[in-house]
Structure formats: structure tokens, C-alpha cells
Amino acid sequence: MTCDQLVCANCNGRVIDGRCPVCRANRARLQQEQHGPFATLNPTVLLVVLCAAVLALALLMMTR
């Protein structure tokens, strides 16, 4: 989710504008979340990687 789409409940302005302290705090929090370790990965890619890992684990267990 981006700040462009959010409306502040405190001042009824867009969060991206940062009119009040609540807007500025939420904007800073959202920006921190967007820079996490998996922020740039597409959810579809993560799902494919997870399926590949499960398949590899299943094949490993079958060969034992």
C-alpha cells in the first residue's frame, strides 16, 4: 500500500502531504516497511520459490 491512496483520519488530508504529525508518522512508517528485505520481490515470485522448495523437499524425501 502506498501513501498516495491513504487519507488521514486526523486531518482528512492525504497522508502523502504530511499535514499533521499523524500523517508524517504514518508516512515514515510506511516508507520503512517498503524498504524491508522482501519489499522488492513480487508475491508471485515468492510463491513460485516456495513451491519449488516444497517440491525439492518432497523429491528428497522420496529418494530416501
pLDDT digits (tens, 9 = 90+) for 1-16: 556 778 888 898 888 8
β partners of residue 7: 14
- Tell whether pTM > 0.75: no
For a pLDDT cut of 90, what percent of the chain falls above it?
30
Overall number of domains in the chain: 1
Q: What integer pLDDT is reported at residue 52 of this predicted model?
A: 97
Distance CA 43, CA 34 (A): 14
The end-to-end CA distance of the chain, in Å, is 45
pLDDT of residue 6: 82
Residue range 16-42: average pLDDT? 79
Look up the domain containing 38 and give its range: 3-62
What is the structure's pLDDT at 57?
96
Nearest to 63 by CA among 49, 48, 55: 55
